[in-house]
Structure formats: structure tokens, C-alpha cells
Amino acid sequence: MSGEPGLGNARRICVIGNAATGKSTLARELARRLGLRYIDFDEAIVRPSWERVPRADRLELFDRLTAEGGWTIDGHLRSDRAYEQLILSRADAVIWLDLPRWRQMASVVRRTLWNTVTRRRVWGGNVEGWSTLLSPDHAIRWSWASHHRLKRDYEQLFADPANDQRTLIRFRSRGAINRWLAHLERGAAGSEPPVQGQE
């Protein structure tokens, strides 16, 4: 019997973690494999010229996006954001990509350099230029500053008895994520009970 965690009947799945941990990639792939709708969190809130949907409007926005059907979404689920807590309240599975800090930072720097050099269009049709690196909320700065706070929030989320009814899965390496995806490919998504840690 495999020791891989299962998703059971989960149809609303939130993938959380720091920047560049692979949240969007995994959420998109799960949506494809499970026949669900993928909601790109950043695409939903980032507008052209790097403008963002005002926080006051985000509760209504994500209420509408998550109200019906099954979906996957990438995000953060921070405890102090009402719109992110709304997403949590509607999710029946949460997957935490808890990669080592050095690997996560290497990924966010590599992604930023690639997007900047190739002028790849990202959320809202924007292009990451060299000048955006100086922004205080740039992904590199933000993810470094937010690491401990996010980890604390997610550990509390996974330990909270209020979330016992949800499937909670925590991955600490890309290898564990890839093995799990291979397990799903064999049609075993619901064959095992959920677990909270995978090395």
C-alpha cells in the first residue's frame, strides 16, 4: 500500500506557500488532472501597470470567484486577510509547499531574472523590468521578509482543530511533490488518508 497522501473527494483545493515554491504550477496541474477550474490568485488582483485591485474590493472579488463549482487556487491564506480567510472557509483541501528557504529564494531570484531578461509578460500583462527590482513589494524582497510570518501562519493553520475536516498536505521538497503527482497519475488520488507531512 502506498504511503502517499490522498485528496479523497476534495474539489476545492488551495495550494499555499511562499513565492516561487511552485504553487501556480501545482494548482494548474491539479485542475487539469481533476477536471477543476483553476483560479490564478495574482492574475485576479494584478492589473496593467502593476496596479492592484484595492483590498477593500477583494472580498467581493474572491466571493464571486469561489462561490460555485470545484476549483484549485494558489495563494497565501494569511490570517489577517478576510478575503483569504474566505477562500480557506470554502476549501476542502489545503496543500502547503514548505520548501527550504534557500531553495525558495533561489527559485524566486531565478524566476525574476528570467522574466526580466526575456521580458515575459506576467500578471495583468505586465513585464518585469530592472526598475521593478527596486520596489519594496517586489517578490524577492517580499518573500525574504515574509518567510517566518508565513511559516508561523501555516503551522497554526495546520494545527488548528477547526481545520480537521479538511485534507491537509504538507510537502517539504520538490521530490515529494513529484512523487505525489506520479501517484495521482496512477489514479490513486483518493486511496490513502490525508497526512500533514511529506519529506
Q: What is the CATH number of the domain that holds 91?
A: 3.40.50.300
Instruction: Give me the pLDDT at residue 192, please.
Output: 41
Residue 120 covered by a domain: yes
Other C-beta atoms lying within 10 Å of the C-beta of residue 31: 18
Residue 121 covered by a domain: yes
Residue 3 covered by a domain: no
Residue 181 covered by a domain: yes
Residue 162 covered by a domain: yes
Q: How far apart (Å, rounded) are the C-alpha atoms in residues 82 and 99?
A: 26
Domain coverage including residue 46: 12-185
Q: How far apart (Å, rounded) are the C-alpha atoms in residues 92 and 109?
A: 32
Residue 98 covered by a domain: yes
Instruction: Give me the pLDDT at residue 195, please.
Output: 41
Residue 25 covered by a domain: yes
- 33, burial (CB in 10 Å: exposed 0-12, middle 13-18, buried 19+): middle
Residue 56 covered by a domain: yes
Instruction: Give me the pLDDT at residue 199, please.
Output: 45
Runs of H (alpha helix) within 67-100? 82-90
The total number of structural domains in the chain stands at 1
- Report in angstroms the alpha-carbon separations of 187 from 34, 140, 171, 183: 10, 37, 20, 7
Instruction: Give me the pLDDT at residue 133, please.
Output: 78
Could you tell me if 151 and 179 are in contact, meaning their C-beta atoms sit under 8 angstroms apart? Answer: no
Could you tell me if 93 and 184 are in contact, meaning their C-beta atoms sit under 8 angstroms apart? Answer: no
Instruction: Give me the pLDDT at residue 136, please.
Output: 78
Mean pLDDT per block of 10 residues along the chain (199 residues) reads 73 97 97 96 95 97 98 94 97 98 95 92 88 82 93 96 96 95 70 42
pLDDT digits (tens, 9 = 90+) for 19-77: 999 999 999 999 999 999 999 999 999 999 989 999 999 999 999 999 999 999 999 99
Instruction: Give me the pLDDT at residue 190, please.
Output: 46
Instruction: Give me the pLDDT at residue 186, please.
Output: 66
